[in-house]
Amino acid sequence: MSTSGRFDYKLKYFFEKNGFNVLSRLADRLGMRASNVRLFFIYITFVTAGLSFGVYLTLHFLLKLKDMIYTKRSSVFDL
């Protein structure tokens, strides 16, 4: 096995050992089931993405409305 292959394996092993058990350890500390904690994080992800998209659509609508109300005139004679 080459040195880069061994490094890749060690890196993968490190993240599997330390990174993927974060929610399980959090659930153990809180005294909950790990599946409930994972489900909570999935729901929170969708809620935050949905809220940000809703804010984006609202701001877009308001800016479009502002442009429709306050049209720029090129000269005084356009009144």
Q: How many CB atoms lie within 10 A of CB 28?
A: 13
CA angle 16, 11, 32 (to 5 degrees): 20
Specify the pLDDT at position 78.
Answer: 61
- Say how far apart CA 14 and CA 21 lie, in whole Å: 11
Block means of pLDDT (10 residues each) for the chain, length 79 residues? 75 80 89 91 93 94 86 67
Specify the pLDDT at position 59.
Answer: 96
